[in-house]
Chains A and B, each alone.
Chain A
Amino acid sequence: MTWLFFKTLKSLNPRITKPVQRSLGVVVVTAVMLAACGGNSSQQTTADSATGAGTAQEGGTLVWARYGDADSLDPHRTTTTLSWQIFDQLYDTLLAFDDQGNVVPNLAQSYEIAPDGQSITFTLNEGITCHDGTPFDATDVKYTAERAIDDANPSVTKGAWGPISQVEVVDPQTVRFQFETPFGAFASFMADPFASMLCDSNEAAGNQFGVSSAIGTGPWKLVSWTKGDEIVLEKNPDYQKFGRPVENPGAPYLDRLVVRQIPEAQTRLAGLQTGEVQLIVNPPLDDLDSVRNDENLELHVAKNTGQNFFFEFTISRPPFNDVRARQAVAHAVDVDAAIQAAFGEGLVEREKCPISRGVFGNDQTFCDQYTYKHDPERAKQLLAEMGYGPDRPMEVILMTSTGDNREKMVQIFQSQLQQVGINAKLETMDIGTLNARVKQENQKTSGISTFDMMDWAWFDPDILHQLWHSPGAYSGYQSPELDALLQKTRTTVNPEQRKEAVNAAMRYLLENAVHVPLYTPGSLWVYATRREVQGYKIGPFNRPVFNDVKLVQ
């Protein structure tokens, strides 16, 4: 009720813009007045002419408001999105992802994988300097890698670096990684912010590294970090672009990038409306129309994020230990209709593969062959075979985590399931609780069976190994056959052969209804900017990039 009141109030009053950007001046004001005169009309009006009113200029500060703070600026200490989106500004990586999600050279101008797949040699670009002015060379790469896998350092990314046996500095521009066994996911990991390259001069900062000091080679330098409040970055004037998917060949155009924390989504939106901040992540999804209809604001939806929402089942007890029960659920739900009802147009897409759009190996055409079509009759038939029917509905629990319209999605699924005779009780909890709960459920052998709508994000098909190679992330479905298929995706280095291995694993997961893909992206993937922000881009895997950003003055 209160919300309704708030919204009604908002719709009653035409939005008044604060005279922050004077150069937008007359055009915007006129546009607003016209919009106001037109009552509640929601046409796109004069957005384009508004941006044309001023010219984009270099310099200035952009304030980016997010829902939380980084945990640390040390890439070996934390893996949250809030943290690595900052790593991505401070540091650079040996390789990079282009717009299509392909791995391309970056700090390394080339790399060579040995025929046996057990070593990879990087040749670094020359003339790269760290934020403190020291040259970036092979010793910095070795320092970073050894720090990340050192048992003495509480590194949280150790596993992702793979079975490294040795890191060797061949010469200042050449560094070689040796592996105990071939490791197919390494090249893509070298393009991820978790593999951010640190400069060895960070060692001098001791415990202050990642707190008040963070020296890298990225486009932005750390000025200060007030924990819980803001991170202030300034442009790195020496930055050179190699492989990042940006146009600007050198230093960012902006002088400063300030990353602020505003936990409440409505407040973030209000800050954007007043011009206090220029970019927000995760505007309230129920209020997106107020962004779309405001000619001062622009909506950005990340694509190819590698996020995957899917059903997974507890198979430690009936009924989901029977593949027919899992297939019945998959046939019973109409995912397209649910997406339409919960998100509307243009926010999320149907995902048919267990690894999502943007990730190597994703292939909608291939996965479509094994996708369960919406077919309530088939679902009922499968249930009838198992002895369920109108007199004996199947009783299960459907769990998911809070946020981003997930609850709406499962409510729609609930009613679709009911139509074929599956009574699903809904339980929504925070993601931490859900992760623990799914694991617990997989260990129980009695009680009402559960399944859940889970989401994972990763930039490489190795995600399937993490999830499903026994014992798996949640100790759920396991089989020797699946293990063998997944092991192959990890140890195959040749791209074509790896793609085949990934296809085989995906086919197995789909045919056995172990991992039933639903949609992508769906988690913290919507951004909104003010119109004066030009050149803002969300790179692959949900990485905001500011190298090209200019402000219209």
Chain B
Amino acid sequence: MTRYLIKRILGGLLTIWITTIAVTLLIHLVPGDPVQIMYAQSQSTTPEQLEQIRRNLGLDRPIYEQYLMYMGRILRGDFGTTIRGNQPVLDLLLVRLPNTLLLAVSSLLVTMLVGVTAGFFAAYKRGTWIDTTLMTGAILGISIPSFWLGLMLIYVFSIRLGWLPVSGTDLKNLILPAITLGLANAASVSRLTRSSMLDVLSQDYMRTARAKGLGENIVLSRHAFRNGMINVVNMLGLQFTYMMGGAIVVENVFAWNGIGRLAIQSIFQRDYPTIQGFILIFATVVVLVSILLDILYVWIDPRITYS
């Protein structure tokens, strides 16, 4: 197990490192440099002054040199400062990261609650109207863009009913974005749960369990559910990554102060240090979550051992 974990962590570091290279190359492919964007709209600054500012920021160097300088600083724990406003990038990201994580985890809970329940009942009541209704709902859920769903929820629960605030970053404001993001993903989880449960329900050991006189509840919870969940947990890891990504859209709709929103803004402003910092943190979270999930498998399915 320890050896496996060390391997996974080293692999994770490699992934993060490759991501930083890819991102550095990609952001420099996008036309427009940050200094020009910063000054383009309302400044009387001479081209010589622009060059000077570029030099100060190190933007006149070749990309590989900029990358090496950047990595050198990162290894010393220095994420640099934003090009606009000159503020420490790490502070900006760390203030927002908990918000995004909170949103992603809450959404994941919604996803599990709704998706797993729906999938489980659809499988259990296979072929009935319950199954049909739930799975039609799932297709709808997959098709509805979260952007639109978010606005509809605002319309119903904030404007019409006045129950929940429209926007902001505190717990009461978490409900709508978590539902928006959670529901969109619940749809695909419910379909996966259903097929996985169907598979389990038709296994011989289910018949055995029933034959030996176990109550239906115990059969379902201990034998069916736990076995059926292995695939689903696997998928939840991926789901969490989607949540982190999907949070970018939902954070914008609900003005949730997370890192996704910061990332979008930074991309438009070509604020390289912020974009790089965002990707680094994002990649780290994704890698950590996937390692944690590997550990979770062992707990769910004692048959799995890492050696």
Contact = CB atoms under 8 A, between A and B. Distances in A.
Given A261-B255, A432-B32, A154 B41 contact: no
Given A228-B262, A439-B36, A457 B41 contact: yes
B129 interface: no
Interface stretch (B7-15, B150-158, B228-236): B150-158
Contacts of A158: 45, 49
Contacts of B167: 65, 260, 262, 267, 271, 276
Contact of B85 (A10, A78, A432, A458): A78
Interface string A29-58: 000000000000000000000000000000
Nearest to A272: B166
Contacts, number: 161
Given A229-B169, A436-B33, A264 B252 contact: yes
B46 interface: yes
A263 B255 contact: yes
A123 interface: no
A27 interface: no
Contacts of B162: 16, 18, 274
A72 B85 contact: yes
Interface stretch (A89-97, A326-334, A465-473): A465-473
B160 A16 contact: yes
Best-surrounded residue of B38, B53, B86, B265 (most CB of chain A within 10 A): B86
Contacts of B265: 68-69
Contact of B95 (A74, A227, A266): A227
A71 B85 contact: yes
Interface residues of A, number: 63
Nearest to B82: A71
A248 interface: no
Interface string B239-260: 0000000000000111101000
B268 A465 contact: no
B165 interface: yes
Nearest to A435: B40
Contact of B44 (A160, A260, A261, A267): A160
B268 to A, nearest CB: 6
A18 B159 CA distance: 8
Interface in A130-177: 154, 156-160
B37 interface: yes
A264 B255 contact: yes
Contacts of A159: 43-46, 49
A267 B154 contact: yes
Contacts of B253: 264, 266-267
B241 to A, nearest CB: 23
Interface in B12-51: 30-33, 36-47, 49
B43 A156 contact: yes
Interface in B139-182: 145, 148, 151-152, 154-155, 158-160, 162, 165-169
A440 B86 CA distance: 28
A463 B16 CA distance: 45
A389 to B, nearest CB: 35
A77 interface: yes
B160 to A, nearest CB: 6
A160 B32 contact: no
B56 interface: yes
Contacts of A227: 87, 92, 95
B226 interface: no
Interface in B257-287: 257, 261-262, 265, 268-270
Given A159-B49, A435-B37, A436-B32, 5 more contacts: A270-B151, A270-B158, A435-B36, A435-B40, A465-B44
Interface of A: 2, 6, 9-10, 13, 15-16, 18, 65, 68-72, 74, 77-81, 83, 154, 156-160, 185, 210-211, 226-229, 260-264, 266-267, 270-271, 273-274, 276, 430-433, 435-437, 439-440, 456-458, 462, 465-466, 471, 473
14 contacts: A6-B151, A72-B84, A77-B86, A78-B85, A81-B42, A159-B45, A228-B95, A228-B261, A262-B255, A270-B151, A270-B155, A435-B37, A436-B32, A473-B40
For the complex of A and B, 8 pairs with smallest distance between CB atoms = A71-B85, A436-B32, A72-B85, A159-B45, A432-B37, A262-B255, A435-B40, A271-B166
